[in-house]
Amino acid sequence: MNRRNFIKTSSLASSYFMLPGFLKPLENLGFNSAQKNLVVIQLSGGNDWLNTIVPFKNDLYFQKRSRIGLKTEMVTFLEKDLAINNSLISLKEFYDAGEMSIVNSVGYPNPDRSHFRSMDIWQTASASNEILQTGWLGRYLDTSCKFSYEAIEVDNYLSLALKGKNLNGLAVKNINMLYKEVKTPYFNDLVSVTKDEVLTEDNQGYLYKTLIETQSSVDYVYEKNKLITNNATYPNTEIGNQLKNIAGFIASDINTKIYYVSLSGFDTHVGQVAKQNKLLSQYAESVTAFIKNLKELNKWEDTLIFTFSEFGRRVEDNASSGTDHGTAGNVFLFGKNLKKKGIINPGPDLTNLDNGDLKYSIDFRSIYKDILQNWLQTDADKIVSANVNPFNII
């Protein structure tokens, strides 16, 4: 955003934020020539990464996976004895162009195999034996942001990842619907008499705080977004629509740094191959449309896409042609100027297992720190307390 645009938008914005303290001095807003966006795509349920980035030359892979091992014709070679599941084939274009990084064996010490706990660990960036009540991006909101709209989850519900101590992200499934809901005279009345009050810390105060914050944030996002029409074609899937919405937000130059979506259904205990492939192709085709759209919008170099799941799955398949909860897995990063590209580190070691599960070699929090430090340009140590160094591939 250039200075002229800023002045234009800030005078527009100022009429929406009647809340004292909401306008920050110019120098704190950190306007770069372009604002960086992070788009997080969560694969919920525990994606089976071994059937995603496949060690297709490894006999052990086929031995352990007699029921669900992907045959050579179902994968496409990448490098280092690894191949990509053909359901993800549309992503290969970005891989070939050096716009995709694949990190192997990402996890954390003493892995937890419960969905909820492991998802909490990933979303809060806690240690395995540590309970945190705020998400890593929620703490980014706390330390570096002022408004809930600075982190948007495209969903009906807000994930723990975007819940801070003092500030929550904004859940926006449909901005037009949301706007209509918040702008009634009755809500305006309630907000006008409570916005300057010191609200209590209990649930009553929480309800009013949510109301006030919501109204001002929705107002802002709506006003900016209504100027945008996004005619790009996306797959007609939920994840496709969500990413299309995000591209619209990014195009509208709102001051939002974080976008968050999730795609669920990866808990493939039974009949895995068809289910997982369907979900992976939904994911890949939507991400492909999204990146192409961002390129057209001239926003690709300002965007980083990060994909993770709460855990990978057991190396050995189960009797129901599925897999049970496991441990380490991959993460994907997409971006224009990645410091390191392609397959970053060796694939998983199937000979050195921990009770039938893969051992991690990269702590996911070192990737978070990399994102916070090198992409969002904030002090990562204030947000992620783990004693790990930034991974340094971004």
Length of the chain: 394
Q: Which residues from 108-127 bind another protein, rule CB under 8 A? A: 113-117
Helices (H) and strands (E) in the chain, counts: 11, 12
Binding mask 308-347 for another protein (x = CB under 8 A): ----------xxx---xx----------------------
Do 266 and 309 contact (CB within 8 A), yes or no? Answer: yes
The tokens for 236 are 């007609």
Query: Can you point out the beta strands (E) in the chain?
Result: 37-44, 53-54, 75-79, 82-85, 100-107, 151-153, 170-171, 258-264, 303-309, 329-334, 342-343, 362-363
Do 132 and 126 contact (CB within 8 A), yes or no? Answer: yes
Nearer to another protein by Cβ, of 180 and 382: the residue is 180
Nearest to 328 by CA among 74, 128, 69: 128
Does 359 sit near another protein (CB under 8 A)?
no
Give CB contacts under 8 A, 24+ apart, made by 129-136: 133/163, 133/165, 134/160, 134/163, 134/164, 134/165, 135/159, 135/160, 135/161, 135/162, 135/163, 135/164, 136/161, 136/368, 136/383, 136/384
The tokens for 188 are 């305006």
Among 79, 96, 197, 301, binds another protein (CB under 8 A): 197
Does 182 sit near another protein (CB under 8 A)?
yes
Do 265 and 279 contact (CB within 8 A), yes or no? Answer: yes
Does 279 sit near another protein (CB under 8 A)?
yes
Cβ at position 174, least distance to another protein in Å: 7
Distance, in Å, from the CA atom of 320 to the CA atom of 371, rounded to the nearest integer, reads 38
Sign of the Cα torsion 140, 244, 42, 81 reads negative
Cβ at position 106, least distance to another protein in Å: 21
Cβ at position 379, least distance to another protein in Å: 28
Does 158 sit near another protein (CB under 8 A)?
yes
Cβ at position 261, least distance to another protein in Å: 12
Among 79, 93, 96, 181, binds another protein (CB under 8 A): 181
Does 350 sit near another protein (CB under 8 A)?
no
How many residues lie near another protein (CB under 8 A)? 62
Does 192 sit near another protein (CB under 8 A)?
yes
Does 80 sit near another protein (CB under 8 A)?
no
Nearer to another protein by Cβ, of 14 and 184: the residue is 184
Does 152 sit near another protein (CB under 8 A)?
no
Does 217 sit near another protein (CB under 8 A)?
yes
Distance between alpha carbon 335 and the CA centroid of its chain, in Å? 14
Cβ at position 1, least distance to another protein in Å: 25
Does 148 sit near another protein (CB under 8 A)?
yes
Do 364 and 122 contact (CB within 8 A), yes or no? Answer: yes
Does 238 sit near another protein (CB under 8 A)?
yes
Distance, in Å, from the CA atom of 230 to the CA atom of 249, rounded to the nearest integer, reads 10
Cβ at position 193, least distance to another protein in Å: 4
Binding site for another protein (CB under 8 A): 113-117, 129, 148, 155-158, 168, 170-174, 177-178, 180-182, 184, 186-187, 189-190, 192-194, 197, 202-204, 206-208, 210-211, 213-214, 217-218, 236-239, 241, 264-265, 269-270, 275, 278-279, 282, 318-320, 324-325, 355
